[in-house]
């Protein structure tokens, strides 16, 4: 079972590209992870994701725990076997979903108490339980349980939350190390938990709201715990984009150079480029798939809303510069017709395009860094997008 690892291959300013090694294969970075919340990326098949060049997926611990259950998935051999995806998978801890259920949960030192959105049943998600669930899922990367706050929040509340996330991080690491002390090449059981992927790695999460001081404290404390890699959480939750960029810029230098850095949940195309410029390696976001289902397509000249009447007789592809299946075979007029008619194919074709756009963007970023032309790429990318922002 390959051990988790990371090496930087090229640098251009603070931007870098590299290779992240996991138990289910290597991931070239910077990388974008399509979101398969319930073990499936909405609107497309795993075959499509492989053809698009997706190297790693993100699945949701909260949703899979509630349905079909991590125990059932463990009995099926783990998440890779259950969903038929042979490449790397990252699972979040469920912290963000608990955050989004503000009316149905309470936060205490032990963990987060919440009621299922499915049937109203009561649950307690502790840092240890989040580790156990993800061990049974068998993802390649497991996230610790953290507390995510909305913006704005009272500074005292942000500090209290950040310090609680650090305490939860220590508990999660202790549980993870206890579970994996029997690491070998095969799955095993320990303390009632079926570990389906002995090569799993664990990422810590930096919190601290929009306070540079709290971000630095959180980063220092999280690094001191000692994880395989580190994520920046609690951003893209309502703060201005410029503030998010500032927090990323001030946080990445506090994280180890030899470990990948993951910006959680932030994901307009320009956000990927700007975060890479500040030293980030991994991204996820629901925007390309969710917006596709709502008729928004990301293009090289900015987003377009395919439901607009102006496209009813437009024979051009969604993006003349794109070579995805949708742009090779479909006109804007046809895509608008499918959307207006409520055809399932509308979601599929739009999603194929949007995911291609995101995955192609990170490929182009990697190439630009490797050839020492990242700053030129960054300026051209932003100038091109700004031409059409009025149509978003």
- SS3 of 165, please? helix
Burial class (CB in 10 A: 0-12, 13-18, 19+), 74: buried
Catalytic residues: 92, 284
The two tokens of residue 204 are 């810590």
The two tokens of residue 28 are 């070239």
Closest by CA to 158, choosing from 149, 146, 167, is 149
Residue in the structure block whose two tokens are 């925007």: 287
- DSSP count for the chain of H helices, then E strands: 15, 19
The two tokens of residue 289 are 């798939």
DSSP class of 5: E
Give the whole-angstrom CA distance, residue 319 versus residue 44: 20
Give the whole-angstrom CA distance, residue 270 versus residue 380: 11
Q: What CA–CA distances, in Å, run from 185 to 164, 174, 182?
A: 35, 21, 10
């Amino acid at each position: 079972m390959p051990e988790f690892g990371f090496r930087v291959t090229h640098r251009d300013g603070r931007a870098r590209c590299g290779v992240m090694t996991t138990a289910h294969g290597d991931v070239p970075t910077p990388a974008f992870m399509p979101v398969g919340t319930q073990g499936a990326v909405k609107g497309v098949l795993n075959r499509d994701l492989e053809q698009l060049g997706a190297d790693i997926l993100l699945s949701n611990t909260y949703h899979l725990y509630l349905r079909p259950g991590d125990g059932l998935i463990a009995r099926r051999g783990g998440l890779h076997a259950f969903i038929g995806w042979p490449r790397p998978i990252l699972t979040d801890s469920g912290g963000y979903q608990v955050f989004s259920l503000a009316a149905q949960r309470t936060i205490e030192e032990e963990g987060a108490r919440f009621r299922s959105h499915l049937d109203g049943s009561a649950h307690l998600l502790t840092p240890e339980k989040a580790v156990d669930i993800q061990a049974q899922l068998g993802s390649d990367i497991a996230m610790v349980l953290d507390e995510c706050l909305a913006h704005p929040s009272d500074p005292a509340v942000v500090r209290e939350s950040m310090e609680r996330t650090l305490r939860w991080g220590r508990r999660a690491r202790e549980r993870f190390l206890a579970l994996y002390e029997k690491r070998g090449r095969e799955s095993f059981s320990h303390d009632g938990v079926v570990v389906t992927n002995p090569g799993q790695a664990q990422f810590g999460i930096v919190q601290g709201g929009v306070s540079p001081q709290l971000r630095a404290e959180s980063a220092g404390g999280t690094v001191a715990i000692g994880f395989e890699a580190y994520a920046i959480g609690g951003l893209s939750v309502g703060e201005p984009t410029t503030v998010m960029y500032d927090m990323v810029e001030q946080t990445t230098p506090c994280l180890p150079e030899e470990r990948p850095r993951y910006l959680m949940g932030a994901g307009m195309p320009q956000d990927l480029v700007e975060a890479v410029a500040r030293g980030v390696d991994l991204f996820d976001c629901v925007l390309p798939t969710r917006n596709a289902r709502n008729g928004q397509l990301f293009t090289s000249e900015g987003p377009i809303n395919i439901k607009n009447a102006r496209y009813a007789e437009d024979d051009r592809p969604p993006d003349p510069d794109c070579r995805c299946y949708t742009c090779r075979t479909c006109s804007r007029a046809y895509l608008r017709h499918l959307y207006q008619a409520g055809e399932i194919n509308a979601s599929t074709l739009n999603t194929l395009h949007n995911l291609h756009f995101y995955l192609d963007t990170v490929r182009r970023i990697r190439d630009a860094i490797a050839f020492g032309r990242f700053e030129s790429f960054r300026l051209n990318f932003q100038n091109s997008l700004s031409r059409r922002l009025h149509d978003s």
